[in-house]
Amino acid sequence: MKILFIGDIVGKSGRWTVEEFLPKMKETHRPDLVIANAENLSHGNGFSPKGIAEMRRAGVNFFTTGDHAWGNRDGMNELGKKDFPVIRPANFPNEKTPGNGYEIFQTDLLDKVLVINLIGRVFMKKHYDCPFKAVDKILQETANEDLAAIFVDFHAEATSEKYAMGFYLDGRVSAVIGTHTHVPTADLRILEGGTAFMADVGMTGSLDSVIGVNKDIIINSFLTQLPVKHQIETNGQMVFNAVIVEIDDKTQKALTVSHLQEIF
């Protein structure tokens, strides 16, 4: 089976870019499941039900998030509801946190895919629970499921933490793909145990920006050291970043993995 995973979709620019490129990608690669990180979907901070519906019409089946999962109250209030295809990181420390940290998604061919969302702790502002222990618990809880694939979105800042997670889960999951930094890393590979790995897939949105935000605003903030209100860039070149992973649904091992990038 094939899973197409789109990096952080940033604001209106990112949604435009998905609408432009995803239909072409689906026609070329024929994925069984399309997942996207939606934590920046709504003006770069959180997601709205309207934005999720828009991306579903464009062809995305399921969504992960990260530290900005709570940026839009309307979206946050939908987390955990039946048929709302969005999860948040599993290792938030309070059991009363809205939503779920993983879900088993059934494809049109009735294959079951376990999608897990984790968040890192290194250089992050909040005090999250251990993502390594959290993923162990999830894998134990789902051990008896007949799964075709296990996909992990590790939303983290430090590449060292992402590498550690990749090696920790090697041979136990189909793919560990990083998000959060918005910049694609040149380290895509299949690890020794058969797990596809990339420290960061990169963002989808404005290329002529500072990770999605108007560059002049950010440059001025660096020069003055004053706080600024982020404004999502909607002009200039746009970039689509994703990975396509082919998985043996009998062994859950990755067979091939490729980074997809389109600019217009």
pTM of the predicted model as reported, rounded to 2 decimal places: 0.97
pLDDT in tens, 149-195: 999 999 999 999 999 999 999 999 999 999 999 999 999 999 999 99
Which residue in the block uniquely carries the two structure tokens 């990180």?
37
What's the pLDDT tens digit per position in 42-80? Answer: 999 999 999 999 999 999 999 999 999 999 999 999 999
- Asked if 177 contacts 115 with a C-beta cutoff of 8 angstroms, the reply is no
Residue 95 predicted with pLDDT over 90: no
Around 59, how many Cα atoms within 13 Å sit in the side-chain half-sphere? 21
Rounded (10°) CA dihedral 37, 97, 90, 10: 10
Residue 91 scores a pLDDT above 90:
yes
Please name the residue that has the structure tokens 């600024």.
228
Catalytic position from the list 29, 68, 127, 259? 68
68 tagged catalytic:
yes
Going by the DSSP 8-state scheme, the letter that residue 104 receives in this structure is E
> What CATH number does the domain located at 2-208+236-263 have?
3.60.21.10
CB 129: neighbour CB atoms within 10 A? 17
200 phi and psi, to 5 degrees?
-155, 125
Question: Within the chain, where are the H helices?
Answer: 11-29, 49-58, 73-76, 131-141, 159-169, 215-224
Q: What is the reported pLDDT for 104?
A: 98
**CB atoms inside a 10 Å sphere around CB 53:** 10
* φ and ψ at residue 102, rounded to 5 degrees: -155, 160
pLDDT score at 47: 98
Ordered by start, the domain boundaries in the chain are 2-208+236-263
* Nearest Cα to Cα of residue 161 among 192, 139, 143, 135: 135
Q: What is the mean pLDDT of the chain?
A: 97
